Amino acid sequence: MLTAEGIFVGGGGEGYATPQELLLRYGNRHGLVAGATGTGKTVTLQVLAEGFSAAGVPVFAADIKGDLSGLAAPGSESHKLHEAFQKRAATIGYHLKYRTFPVAFWDLFGEQGHPIRTTVTEMGPLLLARLMDLNETQEGVLNIAFRLADEEALPLLDLKDLQSMLVWIGQNADELSLRYGNVAAATVGAIQRQLLVLENQGGTKLFGEPALELADMMTVTPEGLGRINILASDKLMGSPRLYATFLLWLLSELFEELPEVGDPDKPKLVFFFDEAHLLFDDAPKALVDKVEQVARLIRSKGVGIYFITQNPADIPDDILGQLGNRVQHALRVFTAKDQKDLERAAETYRPNPAFSTETAIKEVGTGEAVTSFLEAKGVPAVVQRTLIRPPASQLGPIAPDARKAAMAASGLGPKYDTTVDRESAHELLGKRATQAAAEAAEAEGKTDLRKELEAELSTKRRFDVNLGQGYEPSAGRGSGVRYDPDAGQPRRKGPTLTETMTKTVVRELTGTTGRRIVRGILGSLFRAR
Mean pLDDT over 364-386 rounds to 93
> Which amino acid, one-letter code, is at 188?
V
Residue 503: the pLDDT is 59
pLDDT range class, residue 469, cuts 50, 70, 90: low
Closest CA to 154 of 374, 432, 512: 432
How crowded is residue 207: how many other Cβ atoms within 10 Å of its Cβ? Answer: 24
Give the bridge partners for 491, in sequence order: 482
Closest CA to 159 of 188, 202, 107: 202
| Helix/strand/coil for 392 | coil
Cβ(77)–Cβ(202) below 8 Å: no
Closest CA to 388 of 357, 367, 365: 367
Residue 60: the pLDDT is 96
Residue 523: the pLDDT is 45
Q: Please name the residues in contact with 109: beta carbons below 8 A apart, sequence gap of 6 or more.
A: 115, 202, 205, 232, 235, 236
Long-range contacts of 377-380 (CB under 8 A, 24+ apart): 378/26, 378/29, 378/324, 380/324, 380/349, 380/350
- Structural element, H or E, at residue 102: none
| Helix/strand/coil for 397 | coil
Q: 182-229: per-residue pLDDT in tens?
A: 899 999 999 999 999 888 877 888 899 999 999 999 999 999 999 999
Mean pLDDT over 165-179 rounds to 91
- Calpha distance 388→370 (Å, rounded): 10
- Calpha distance 201→185 (Å, rounded): 25
What is the residue-averaged pLDDT of the chain?
Answer: 85
- Calpha distance 199→249 (Å, rounded): 18
How many CA atoms does the CB half-sphere of 457 hold within 13 Å?
6
- Calpha distance 285→143 (Å, rounded): 18
Residue 461: the pLDDT is 61
Closest CA to 143 of 257, 430, 248, 156: 156
Q: 287-302: per-residue pLDDT in tens?
A: 788 888 888 889 999 9
* CA of residue 21 relative to chain centroid, distance: 37
Residue of higher predicted confidence among 59 and 493: 59
Flag the least confident range among 11-15, 83-87, 133-137, 501-505. 501-505
| Helix/strand/coil for 78 | coil
Cβ(312)–Cβ(348) below 8 Å: yes
Q: 476-502: per-residue pLDDT in tens?
A: 444 444 445 555 555 555 555 555 555
Q: 406-450: per-residue pLDDT in tens?
A: 999 999 999 999 999 899 999 999 888 888 778 777 777 777 767
pLDDT value at 386 more than 70 = yes
- Calpha distance 485→275 (Å, rounded): 100
pLDDT value at 509 more than 80 = no
Q: 233-247: per-residue pLDDT in tens?
A: 988 888 887 888 888
pLDDT range class, residue 527, cuts 50, 70, 90: very low
> Which amino acid, one-letter code, is at 38?
G
pLDDT value at 504 more than 60 = no
How crowded is residue 449: how many other Cβ atoms within 10 Å of its Cβ? Answer: 10
- Calpha distance 499→296 (Å, rounded): 95
Instruction: Name the DSSP class of 118.
Output: B
pLDDT range class, residue 177, cuts 50, 70, 90: confident
Q: 120-131: per-residue pLDDT in tens?
A: 999 999 889 988
- Calpha distance 139→499 (Å, rounded): 71
CA dihedral 377, 380, 382, 385 (to 10 degrees): 130
Residue 433: the pLDDT is 80
Residue 366: the pLDDT is 85
Q: 315-368: per-residue pLDDT in tens?
A: 988 889 899 999 999 998 889 999 999 999 999 899 999 999 999 999 998 889
Q: If you write DSSP's letter for every residue of 199-240 in order, what string do you get? A: HHTTHHHHB-BSPPPGGGTS-B-TTSPBPEEEEE-TTGGGSH
Burial of residue 210, with CB atoms counted within 10 A of its CB: 0-12 exposed, 13-18 middle, 19 or more buried: middle
Q: In what order do the strands lie in the sheet with 103-107?
A: 18-23, 6-12, 384-388, 368-372, 325-328, 31-34, 303-309, 269-274, 59-63, 228-232, 103-107, 114-115
Cβ(1)–Cβ(54) below 8 Å: yes
pLDDT range class, residue 511, cuts 50, 70, 90: low
